Amino acid sequence: MNKKLKPLLISLIVLIILLIIFLPKIFSSGESEMTTFNPNRMNVVIPVTAHIVSYETLSNKIFSTGTVLANEEVELRSEISGKIIQIHFSEGRFVSKGDLLVKINDADLQAELRKAESKVKLMEDRETRHKQLVENQMISREDYENTFNELEASKAERDLIKAQIDKTEIRAPFNGVVGLREVSEGSFVTTSTIIARLQNLSNLKIDFAIPQKYASMVKISDELFFNISGSDFQYKARIYAIEPKIDPSTRTLKLRAICTASYGDLFPGAFANVEVNLKETEQAVLIPTIAIVPELKGQSVYSGWCK
């Protein structure tokens, strides 16, 4: 026999003998442990966390985001192009409806107006004379009507010049606060030039949107609460207008609320977190989410009675 194989065979024989001796003991000890009755196993306590529930009032709320708007807002622009010769407002100050804010150069129009008024006066005198002549049958009725039409055309031309002069005066369309002006005296402005912005801050509005599924749950005069970034104070407002169409791109319904109270720290354009109370359910039973056990056909919860 090969000398290299002899030690290997001896080691293998010894290993087989050891397995024959010890394997039965190992299996017998495992079976004894499984079959041995342990009375403490029946008394094992499994810790659980219980939650005592009671009837509560459930408030169904919608949380959304919106924007604070002024009651009225307008960008002041000129209806005609020209040079500003006078500015009659101060930045950040209150102005009343009808106040003259900006005056644009109208020297050429004033000259045309004087010419038109002179022509009107001349035609009025002529019309008076022709009226007397036609009454005395000294001229034909047709000649008088021609004179009368010329008079009306002259008046129309005069009124047109006056309307153009009115466009050189920018007046406040409503009571409000004028913002920062974008021009100075001597500036040449066009119809696209923003002179300043006028805002009525007597009431503030809040624009926001809610998901389509809640569209039937909101109505006019519903109350809502909102706060702005940097403040935890809850402001109140009421819905006063609802868009009659769902936005097809976002599937949301746009609403507008009005805040009638005067708050000095609210500014138009601010970002608002909106909370709308839809409906309250009396005597609702609320349970923690962690207590709900998902199942194949639904969900279940373990419950018990406390005496």
pLDDT for position 182: 94
Asked if residues 256 and 67 have their Cβ atoms less than 8 Å apart, the reply is no
Cβ-count burial 214-238 (b if 16+ within 10 Å, e if not): eeeebeeebebebebeeeeeebebe
Q: What is the DSSP-derived secondary structure letter of residue 91?
A: T
Q: What is the reported pTM?
A: 0.66
pLDDT at 5: 62
Residue 295 phi, psi (nearest 5): -130, 175
Structure tokens at 286: 């609320």
- 293, 71 contact by CB (below 8 A): no
Residues linked to residue 237 through DSSP beta bridges, in sequence order: 224
pLDDT in tens, 82-120: 999 999 999 999 999 999 999 999 999 999 999 999 999
Chain segment 249-267, per-residue pLDDT in tens = 999 999 999 998 777 788 8
List the structure tokens of 85: 């010769």
Q: For residue 242, give both structure tokens.
A: 């609802």
pLDDT in tens, 198-237: 999 989 999 999 999 999 889 999 999 999 887 888 999 9
User: Which residues neighbour 257 within 8 Å (Cβ) at sequence distance 6 or greater?
Assistant: 205, 206, 208, 224, 237, 238, 239, 240
What tens digit of pLDDT does each residue of 28-55 get?
555 544 545 455 555 666 677 776 777 6
